[in-house]
Amino acid sequence: MTHDHPPRIPTKNRSYRTMSNTAARGRIVALAIAGIAALALSGCAGQSETPGEAPAAEGGTCAPEDIQLIGQVRNETNPYEKAWLDGGDAFAESVGLTQTRLTYDGESPKQQEQLRQALSTGNPECMVLNVLPNGDSDTTPIVKEVDNAGAYLVTHWNKPADLNPWDGHDTWISHITFDGKDAGRQIADAMFEAMGGSGGIIALQGILDTAAAKDRFIGLQDALAENPDVELLDEQAADFDRTTAFNITKTLITKHGDAIKGVWAANDDMALGALQALEAAGMDGVAVVGIDAVPEAVQAVADGTMTATVSVDGPWQGGIGLAMGYCALTGELDVAELSNEQRAFFAKQTLINADNAEENLTPTANLDDFACDNLFDRVTGPVS
């Protein structure tokens, strides 16, 4: 992928360092101004102003080339999380930097240790962390570590309800998530329609200590309450994992057999594992739905073997958090001026079905989304 331009720099929030041109012309004052200018330049980590270039923005604390970009997810075997890190790479390349890709294999202690090591390497005050906390309870220690180090942080999906970026966290820029209840309801409605409005289903939940898993299942329950002819035969936690989902689905097929007319899965990796189990059992025509719009799942929707998924745009997530921190460190984003809605928000998501699957087969990052004046264009509402 080639990138023709870095993120656009907005002018509406720009303020500049200037030196007074009304100072006395005497030699002593001139020398004093020269000394002040030298100190200012040395404090900007090598930034300089040359003819024809805009001066450094006030509040910019790091030269662009000194900024460290770090993306962290559970693993790269999950296509959605790999696409997230790929989006981070695309943003980093567009500004002449390299993203450090971290994976912690779904192990909370490993995640915490990785972040501690990252913060102890280099200059944390010129560091941006774009992080998927393993569970809600993991976000508090992550925020504490980053606060103490002074690095910029963007978190996604998981956090305790009473922990918010605007409550005294100057460098925790934003928490980004998606309306899980809406996503869980959307795929349930699509599945029920494919089933003709009646029949038995099984549900595969994600990691139960995550807001995403909880909210998506509530969306399913809301849909079930309005569709009394659909019966929830069984539900199991498959931890967002394909192999786990495959094994659980095999067990549930043995238990419920042909009564299963639909499989609701809280993410695509589990949906694909369930689909493999159904195919192995020779069960055709079962409606299978998931969330994340990973390429394999979107292809399955296009082929008609899956019914629907929901796109939360992994490449956008991987780039947007890094872009927010980059813009803050170069002075183009003032975190203190952000609204509460910008600091904890639901982002846009899209239902993918047979009608639009073909056009969503290859997720890629749109660099225009990462321009400093476009960072909050996908906000659909505050996280309450």
User: How far is residue 152 CA from its own chain's centroid?
Assistant: 15
Residue 121 has pLDDT above 70, yes or no: yes
pTM of the complete model beyond 0.85:
no
Residue 99 has pLDDT above 60, yes or no: yes
Average pLDDT over the chain, rounded to whole? Answer: 87
Per-residue model confidence (pLDDT) at position 79: 86
Report residue 209's pLDDT band, with 50, 70 and 90 as the boundaries.
Answer: confident
Per-residue model confidence (pLDDT) at position 363: 83
Residue 365 has pLDDT above 50, yes or no: yes
Residue 44 has pLDDT above 90, yes or no: no
Q: For tokens 């009608």, what's the residue?
A: 355
Report residue 17's pLDDT band, with 50, 70 and 90 as the boundaries.
Answer: very low
- Three-state DSSP string of the chain: CCCCCCCCCCCCCCCECCCCCCCCCCHHHHHHHHHHHHHHHHCCCCCCCCCCCCCCECCCCCCHHHCEEEEEECCCCCHHHHHHHHHHHHHHHHCCCCEEEEECCCCHHHHHHHHHHHHCCCCHHHEEEEECCCCHHHHHHHHHHHHHHCCEEEEECCCCCCCCCCCCCCCEEEEEECCHHHHHHHHHHHHHHHCCCCEEEEEEECCCCCHHHHHHHHHHHHHHHCCCCEEEEEEEECCCCHHHHHHHHHHHHHHHHHHEEEEEECCHHHHHHHHHHHHHCCCCCCEEECCECCHHHHHHHHHCCCCEEEECCHHHHHHHHHHHHHHHHCCCCCHHHCCHHHHEEEECCEEECCCCCHHHCCCCCCHHHHCCCCCCCCEEEECC
Residue 82 has pLDDT above 70, yes or no: yes
Residue 14 has pLDDT above 70, yes or no: no
Q: Which domains does the chain have, with CATH numbers?
A: 64-178+313-346+363-382 (3.40.50.2300), 180-311 (3.40.50.2300)
Per-residue model confidence (pLDDT) at position 229: 98
User: Which tops the pLDDT comparison, 143 or 210?
Assistant: 143
Average pLDDT, stretch 35-60?
37
Per-residue model confidence (pLDDT) at position 244: 98
pLDDT digit string, tens, across residues 51-75:
333 333 344 679 999 999 999 999 9
